[in-house]
């Protein structure tokens, strides 16, 4: 055993990773600031008086005194720029404010909803990966017909809108077959249809990417040399080509989670599931500005975290990436 | 010890077809243990298909048939994929050309070598690992313990090839098939890999060596089979085939090996360009060599003086080019030889002013060149042409050849230097195509549909569009078969003679440089270790490194 080389390699890998992590954190802070700023000003463009919203929403019969009182309580009578910096200051201390409609701290509200939505998105992502890998593997190396069928399934499913898919799934599995509940019941069975609804279009999309890179990997000379060593078709996929095929799909998963969170707005509403998506929809309807800001910031944070995670996952799956940054 | 050992390989009437057409038409081949048999032929002759068919791997849409196909006595002529799988790696190993792609870039070398042990033997993991280390030591891998943790991208070309060989011989198969095992390698590395294969053969393995280059196989093959269009057209002992070839095709393969063929003697069977000669075909060209005339020796066309170029690497700077001085006169060829990584291409980029030197200067036609800014250089750019190893990457894949060349002609006109200054570009394109020996119909084809030799001809035509005085050729023939290489070298020779071009000819292949160059400079680790008249440098090398390169350079072993 040469004492130096492996440890040395590990150390340089660690150093490069630390540098990268520092950059990513700085980037994440910038993104969150930008999101907070954009949301703050964009919300001012929504017609309607926040003070009205606080006092029971549009149509409430609040007195002028009550409105003035609320404006000064919430600092809404201050110039916009003062309100902006007050908001940034609160955010820095981790204070997301109090919901106008529910009069509860936004942080508590979101904490209660986050788990369900994350579970929904994560399960959908996992299912999408399983479906996509299965489809990509099945439809390659099996002749032209399988390949055309695979391609057709991918394009069709990738183009399916969530609301339509949800309606069809409910009609088939809840109404006609009565296998699964049409609304989220909080039981595992209630999770099935929402997860499937979110996963299927994503699976179609991921499978397209995976099949392309799988076909590409199967053309590589290392496949020939592996076969010449006696590797079986299954062994080739497990040990060689699937790994190559997953690389672009891993990079896409960060984006996919963001896509799933926005899909959750539709799916949670249709299946009447508690979650961030539904909370956001309600908050926008009620002009509950602190809740909207909170949800948007939280989604941005999840997005950033997921990007970091997929970056790390890509570097674990593809050692060449580690090597390049170390060089 | 058996009295009569079974042949390592015994195949009769091997046929391989794709769709409706046969590409291999009935090949008979026997290889005894400890024997090395070579199949030589151009790309497309069916030799690689043959190699794969011998392992039952000709491809999903192929039909393979044989009267018998015995590997180490076991007939696999009618074997199913499952039966084949049991024998691949155990009875026969395969080594492919491109070790970078032939080892999975995501897996460590150790795992790749462990694969055949894991697939075919029931061994505890610790025993497997010990055998991997032993194998790596056997193939001459320095520091096997750290090598097993590396991936193919982290190893040099030669070490990668060693790792690939280790994986192929892991189970000590009686037959080893090596398909162009050294084609992408530097000569010194090539010599060592061939020596390693020879060692494996001496241990009693039957080796089937496949190459387009007779010079490479002549070193170690006992017998040579010449393959053309799916048939063996000639075979015999290495001496017989090289000394008394019966077929014209074999003779053309032998003639195409440029090593030690004097400058000006044609390598290919193509006649000298008719535009230049009036009368009988001369066998030896007399290129314009003004450098031999002391009166016009004064200003070199290209002059590099004390060039140094470094690149940032972690923990310091890497010196790619270190105090390099060269000069090149009109009509002359300067050969620049060295292994990969020696800084040859950086010199080319400096001469083209695509990169700026840290110190030193490049002068073109007596004028400052490297110190100018790009706007000042632009009017002079077209006077320097360049061709590279892989022309495909420099062509827009959606443009046809006619458009590629027309674009170059227009560029030259803007600079005011095209041969024909106005009018439609089509006739000019036709002339260019004719000059590089391509039919006018090639103008309608896309680069992807052309062969490697045709692509390089198009690249040359494009470089000629600006009527350059200097042509920088960076490994122009390294990706080509020897016979095609011979044609391209002859073409460059013709063009040089017609136009009085100066050539800066960069190659790792000594034979090619020896054939092409008037003067030669040998580069190693960024420095010129030796330079001078090509004949002198290669016959009486003054530097031990040059002597080593000359000794390792493949030549016909007659």
Mapping DSSP to helix (H, G, I), strand (E, B) and coil, where does residue A23 land? Answer: helix
In a domain, B284, yes or no: no
Q: How far, in Å, are A157, A230, B170 from residue B120 at the CA level?
A: 42, 8, 10
C-beta of residue B436 within 8 angstroms of C-beta of residue B457: yes
Whether residue B276 has pLDDT greater than 70: no
- Would the CB atoms of A221 and B115 count as touching at under 8 Å? no
> Quick one: average pLDDT of A152-175?
88
Least confidently predicted of A206-210, A319-323, B315-319: A319-323
How many whole angstroms separate alpha carbon B490 and alpha carbon B248? 19
How many whole angstroms separate alpha carbon A83 and alpha carbon A317? 46
Any B CB within 8 A of A15 CB: no
C-beta of residue B456 within 8 angstroms of C-beta of residue B480: yes
Any A CB within 8 A of B55 CB: yes
Look at residue A221 in the predicted model and tell me its pLDDT: 86
Look at residue A73 in the predicted model and tell me its pLDDT: 77
How many whole angstroms separate alpha carbon B432 and alpha carbon B401? 11
In a domain, B162, yes or no: yes
CATH architecture of A103-319: Orthogonal Bundle (1.10)
Distance of CA B240 to the CA centre of its chain: 26
Any B CB within 8 A of A61 CB: no
Look at residue B419 in the predicted model and tell me its pLDDT: 57
Confidence band (pLDDT; 50, 70, 90) for B285? very low
Same domain, B239 and B308: no
- Give the range of the structural domain holding residue B159, as residue numbers without chain letter: 99-172
Whether residue A306 has pLDDT greater than 50: yes
Q: Where are the domains of chain A?
A: 103-319
CA angle B104, B105, B110 (to 5 degrees): 65
Same domain, B469 and B497: yes
Look at residue A6 in the predicted model and tell me its pLDDT: 40
How many whole angstroms separate alpha carbon A195 and alpha carbon A123? 7
Tell me which chain B residue has its CA closest to the CA of residue A316: B106
Look at residue B417 in the predicted model and tell me its pLDDT: 57
What backbone torsions phi and psi does residue B491 show, to the nearest 5 degrees?
Answer: -65, -45
Residue whose structure tokens are 């006595």: B73
Same domain, B498 and B462: yes
Tell me which chain B residue has its CA closest to the CA of residue A220: B101
CB neighbours (10 Å) of residue A217? 22
Domain boundary among B226, B241, B256: B256
Q: How many domains does chain B have?
A: 3
Whether residue A5 has pLDDT greater than 80: no
Confidence band (pLDDT; 50, 70, 90) for A7? very low
Look at residue B173 in the predicted model and tell me its pLDDT: 92
- Of the residues A13, A222, A233, the best mutation for testing chain B's interface (the one with the most B CB atoms within 10 Å of its CB) is A222
Q: What is the ipTM of this complex?
A: 0.75
In a domain, B188, yes or no: no
C-beta of residue B154 within 8 angstroms of C-beta of residue B109: no
- Would the CB atoms of B93 and A235 count as touching at under 8 Å? no
Same domain, B347 and B387: yes
Any B CB within 8 A of A238 CB: no
- Would the CB atoms of A229 and B164 count as touching at under 8 Å? no
Average pLDDT, chain A: 81
Mapping DSSP to helix (H, G, I), strand (E, B) and coil, where does residue B286 land? Answer: coil
Q: Which residues contact B373 (CB under 8 A, 6 or more apart)?
A: none
- Would the CB atoms of B143 and A231 count as touching at under 8 Å? no
C-beta of residue A108 within 8 angstroms of C-beta of residue A95: no
pLDDT tens sequence across A185-223: 777 778 888 899 999 999 999 999 998 888 888 888 888
Any A CB within 8 A of B94 CB: yes
- Would the CB atoms of A228 and B104 count as touching at under 8 Å? no
How many whole angstroms separate alpha carbon B544 and alpha carbon B394? 37
Tell me which chain A residue has its CA closest to the CA of residue B113: A229
Any A CB within 8 A of B313 CB: yes
Bridge partners of B27, per DSSP, are B14
Look at residue B334 in the predicted model and tell me its pLDDT: 94
Q: What are the start-end ranges of the H helices in B264-400?
A: 344-351, 374-381
In a domain, B265, yes or no: no
In a domain, B558, yes or no: no
Q: At what angle do helices A319-326 and A4-44 cross, to 10 degrees?
A: 90
Length, in residues, of chain A: 327
| B156-195 residues touching A, CB cutoff 8 A | 164, 167-168, 170
Whether residue B61 has pLDDT greater than 50: yes
Element (H, E) at A235: helix A233-236
pLDDT tens sequence across B415-444: 765 555 667 788 889 889 988 888 888 889
CATH number at residue B247: 3.40.50.300
Whether residue B264 has pLDDT greater than 80: no
Look at residue A11 in the predicted model and tell me its pLDDT: 44
**What dihedral angle (degrees, nearest 10) is formed by the CA atoms of B409, B412, B418, B421?**
80
HEC letters along B15-50:
EEEECCEEEEEEEEEEECCCCEEEEECCCCCCHHHH
pLDDT tens sequence across B148-196: 888 888 888 888 888 999 999 999 899 999 998 887 788 888 888 899 9
Is the sign of the CA dihedral B360, B362, B368, B372 positive or negative? negative
Domain boundary among B209, B231, B256: B256
- Would the CB atoms of B94 and A225 count as touching at under 8 Å? yes
Whether residue B270 has pLDDT greater than 70: no
Bridge partners of B21, per DSSP, are B18
Q: For residue A102, count CB atoms less than 10 angstroms from its CB and return exposed for 0-12, middle for 13-18, buried for 19 or more.
A: middle
Length, in residues, of chain B: 558
Same domain, B115 and B240: no
C-beta of residue B187 within 8 angstroms of C-beta of residue B195: no
Whether residue B470 has pLDDT greater than 90: yes
In a domain, B481, yes or no: yes
pLDDT tens sequence across B336-389: 998 888 888 899 999 999 989 999 999 998 888 888 888 888 888 888 999 988
Write the DSSP symbol of residue B142. S
Whether residue A82 has pLDDT greater than 70: yes
Look at residue A10 in the predicted model and tell me its pLDDT: 43
In a domain, B357, yes or no: yes
pLDDT tens sequence across B186-221: 888 888 889 999 999 999 999 999 988 888 888 889
């Amino acid at each position: 055993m040469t004492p130096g080389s492996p440890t040395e390699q590990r150390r340089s890998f660690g150093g490069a990773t630390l540098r990268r992590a520092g950059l990513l954190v700085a980037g994440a802070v910038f993104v969150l600031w930008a999101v907070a700023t954009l949301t703050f000003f964009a919300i001012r463009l929504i017609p309607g008086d926040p003070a009205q919203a606080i006092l029971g929403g549009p149509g409430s019969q609040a007195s002028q005194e009550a409105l003035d009182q609320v404006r000064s309580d919430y600092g809404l009578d201050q110039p916009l720029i003062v309100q902006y910096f007050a908001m940034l200051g609160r955010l820095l201390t981790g204070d997301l404010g109090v919901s106008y409609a529910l009069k509860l701290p936004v942080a508590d509200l979101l904490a209660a909803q986050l788990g369900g939505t994350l579970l929904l998105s994560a399960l959908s992502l996992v299912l999408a990966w399983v479906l996509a890998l299965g489809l990509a593997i099945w439809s390659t190396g099996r002749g032209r017909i399988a390949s055309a069928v695979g391609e057709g399934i991918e394009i069709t499913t990738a183009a399916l809108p969530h609301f339509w898919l949800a309606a069809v799934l409910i009609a088939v599995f809840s109404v006609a077959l009565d296998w699964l509940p049409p609304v989220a019941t909080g039981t595992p069975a209630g999770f099935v249809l929402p997860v499937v609804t979110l996963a299927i279009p994503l699976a179609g999309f991921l499978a397209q990417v995976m099949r392309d890179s799988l076909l590409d990997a199967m053309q590589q000379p290392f496949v020939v040399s592996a076969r010449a060593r006696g590797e079986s078709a299954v062994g080739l996929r497990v040990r060689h080509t699937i790994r190559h095929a997953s690389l672009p799909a891993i990079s896409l998963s960060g984006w996919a989670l963001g896509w799933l969170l926005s899909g959750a707005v539709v799916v949670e509403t249709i299946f009447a599931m508690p979650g961030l998506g539904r909370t956001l929809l309600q908050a926008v309807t009620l002009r509950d500005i602190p809740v909207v800001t909170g949800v948007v910031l939280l989604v941005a944070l999840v997005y950033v975290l997921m990007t970091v995670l997929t970056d790390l996952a890509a570097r674990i799956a593809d050692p060449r990436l580690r090597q390049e940054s170390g060089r | 010890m058996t009295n009569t050992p079974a042949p390592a390989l015994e195949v009769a009437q091997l046929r391989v077809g794709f769709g409706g057409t046969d590409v291999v038409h009935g090949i008979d081949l026997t290889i005894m243990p400890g024997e090395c048999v070579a199949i030589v032929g151009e790309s497309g002759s069916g030799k690689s298909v043959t190699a794969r068919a011998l392992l039952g791997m000709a491809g999903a849409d192929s039909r393979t048939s044989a009267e018998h196909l015995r590997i180490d006595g076991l007939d696999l002529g009618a074997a199913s994929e499952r039966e084949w799988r049991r024998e691949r790696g155990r009875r026969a190993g395969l080594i492919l050309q491109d070790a970078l792609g032939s080892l999975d870039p995501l897996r460590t070398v150790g795992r790749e070598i462990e694969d055949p042990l894991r697939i075919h033997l029931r061994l505890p993991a610790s025993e497997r690992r010990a055998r991997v280390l032993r194998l790596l030591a056997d193939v001459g891998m320095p520091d096997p313990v750290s090598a097993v943790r590396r991936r193919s991208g982290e190893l040099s070309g030669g070490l990668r090839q060693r790792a690939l060989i280790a994986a192929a011989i892991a189970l000590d198969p009686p037959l080893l098939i090596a398909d162009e095992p050294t084609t992408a390698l530097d000569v010194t590395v090539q010599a060592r890999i061939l020596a390693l294969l020879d060692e494996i053969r001496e241990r009693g393995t039957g080796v089937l060596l496949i190459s387009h280059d007779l010079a490479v196989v002549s070193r170690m093959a006992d017998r040579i089979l010449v393959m053309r269009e799916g048939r063996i057209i000639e075979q015999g002992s290495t001496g017989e085939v090289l000394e008394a070839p019966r077929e014209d095709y074999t003779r053309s393969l032998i003639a195409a090996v440029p090593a030690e063929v004097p400058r000006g003697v044609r390598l290919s069977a193509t006649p000298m360009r008719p535009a230049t000669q009036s009368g009988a075909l001369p066998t030896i060209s007399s290129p314009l060599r003004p450098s031999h005339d002391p009166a016009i020796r004064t200003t070199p066309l290209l002059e590099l003086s004390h060039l140094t170029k470094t690149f940032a690497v972690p923990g310091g700077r890497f010196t790619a080019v270190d105090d390099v001085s060269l000069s090149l006169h009109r009509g002359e060829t300067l050969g620049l030889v060295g292994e990969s990584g020696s800084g040859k291409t950086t010199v080319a980029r400096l001469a083209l002013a695509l990169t700026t030197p840290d110190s030193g200067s490049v002068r073109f036609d007596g004028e400052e060149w490297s110190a100018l800014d790009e706007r000042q250089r632009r009017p002079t750019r077209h006077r320097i042409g360049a061709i590279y190893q892989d022309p495909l990457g420099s062509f827009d894949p959606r443009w046809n050849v006619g458009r590629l060349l027309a674009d170059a002609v227009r560029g030259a006109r803007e600079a005011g230097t095209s041969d024909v200054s106005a009018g439609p570009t089509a006739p000019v394109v036709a002339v260019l195509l004719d000059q590089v020996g391509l039919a006018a119909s090639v103008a309608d084809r896309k680069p992807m549909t052309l062969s490697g030799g045709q692509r390089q001809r198009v690249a040359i035509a494009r470089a000629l569009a600006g009527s350059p005085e200097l042509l920088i050729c960076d490994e122009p023939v390294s990706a080509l078969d020897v016979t095609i290489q011979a044609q391209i070298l002859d073409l460059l020779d013709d063009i040089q003679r017609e136009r009085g071009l100066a050539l800066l000819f960069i190659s790792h292949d000594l034979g090619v440089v020896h054939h092409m160059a008037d003067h030669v400079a040998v580069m190693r680790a960024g420095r010129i270790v030796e330079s001078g008249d090509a004949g002198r440098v290669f016959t009486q090398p003054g530097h031990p490194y040059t002597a080593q390169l000359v000794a390792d350079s493949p030549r016909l072993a007659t």
